[in-house]
Amino acid sequence: MAPATMPSAPAEKWDDGTKDYVPVRSSRTDPKKPHITTQPITWGNWWLHVNWLNTFFILIVPAIGLVSSYWVPLQWKTAVFSVIYYFNTGLGITAGYHRLWAHSSYKASLPLKIYLAAVGAGAVEGSIRWWSREHRAHHRYTDTVKDPYSVRKGLLYSHLGWMVMKQDPKRTGRTDITDLNEDPVVMWQHIHFLKCVLTMGVIFPTLVCGLGWGDWLGGYVYAGILRIFFVQQATFCINSLAHWIGDQPFDDRNSPRDHMITAFFTLGEGYHNFHHEFPSDYRNAIQWWQYDPTKWMIWTWKQLGLASDLKQFRANEIEKGRVQQLQKKLDQKRATLDWGIPLEQLPVVDWDDFVAQTKEGKGLIAVAGVIHDVTDFIKDHPGGRALINSAIGKDATAIFNGGVYLHSNAAHNLLSTMRVGVLRGGCEV
């Protein structure tokens, strides 16, 4: 397949060696003209802010399909095919658009590329080139103003608001898509995308159901329109729910999260915290029990000779990230607890002054060079008053650490809250 060409201005090259994205525009488009998003939305111009093409495919067409389903009965063969085709077009997005082209997490043979490009078009979510470019920007600028579908702008916005409302491409962070521009499959699909959408999104499922068992309308409504709607909504959940609900076992600086429910609806893309930390890993789920059918399919394609070079981060690096996040959470929890006055903030007391204060009635004992005021604790001492009174005004380190009784970790922690000073020299001098 010869590389396709497209009418566009040359990409601007930046200091880091990357080339900026150049959208394919109509010759009538004036890139110097202020974008509609620079104007506030009013009753007089709201319709100019709406991306009507996306709105038609994302909202209007599914509504037509839903209404049509009232008069079109669902045959069981059509239902089975719709589910099968749903998974195929879903894999076109998760295994193709996302893990293959957006992240280059594995290499695919030409037949596999063609298959993924075809069924990916059947999901009606834009071309590979456009989708991957937006996704790379999302990873590079996560949760910032340059993130094309930042959840910081609201859950609904990250789900589909960014699609149905016009976006100024100049506001989206730049990314390098040189590899996509050099991929003939990507460019052919990009240039002929409308034909691909109509063929794989509507015509193909209608023909299968129509020629297969005579259910032309059912194929159009269920395997076509409504199947597209469910695939789209599942994908949109990656941009919204995967940044909203779940745990953050690897990093919590940004919004991505891991959640089994999100993974179930997105063919395994719900382990999003892991994915944002290790984006070039062909897996989203790393435990055998975690649901990631996309990973399983890529592995199967490798066994069949259709895929190769499946990238994986070393387990050591993954576990380092997990441990660091656990430590961060432990430190945050630790900061909420009373560990006593830090040693460096305590006054330094001479031994004679320490003894003199006990003679004035203070219940002071020394343990490991630190002076503790146990006056209020004497009556609650589990070992009785006599033992603790016998240690007042003395170095009780040996007594406390096993000479009389080897005190528990809890006892050490409790004692630390009673610190009042540090002995000069650390002991009787």
d(CA 147, CA 245): 19
In tens, the pLDDT along 336-372 reads: 999 999 999 999 999 999 999 999 989 999 999 999 9
pLDDT at residue 283, rounded to an integer:
97
Q: What angle do CA 103, 105, 110 make, to 5 degrees?
A: 100
Contact assessment for residue 148 and residue 221, using Cβ atoms and an 8 Å cutoff: no
In tens, the pLDDT along 75-105 reads: 999 999 999 999 999 999 999 999 999 999 9
Looking at domain 346-423, its CATH class is: alpha beta
- Run of H or E residues at 213: helix 204-213
pLDDT at residue 22, rounded to an integer:
54
Farthest CA pair distance, the chain: 103
pLDDT at residue 168, rounded to an integer:
77
pTM of the model: 0.82
Question: At residue 405, does pLDDT exceed 90?
Answer: no
- Mean per-residue pLDDT of the chain: 90
- Run of H or E residues at 212: helix 204-213
Q: How far is CA 32 from CA 29, 35, 47, 162, 323, in A?
A: 9, 9, 22, 22, 50
**DSSP secondary structure of 143-178:** TSTT-TT-GGG-HHIIIIIHHHB---GGGSPP---H
Q: What proportion of the chain, given as a percentage, has pLDDT over 90?
A: 76
Domain regions of the chain by residue span:
36-323, 346-423
Which has the closest alpha carbon to 19: 182, 146, 166?
A: 182
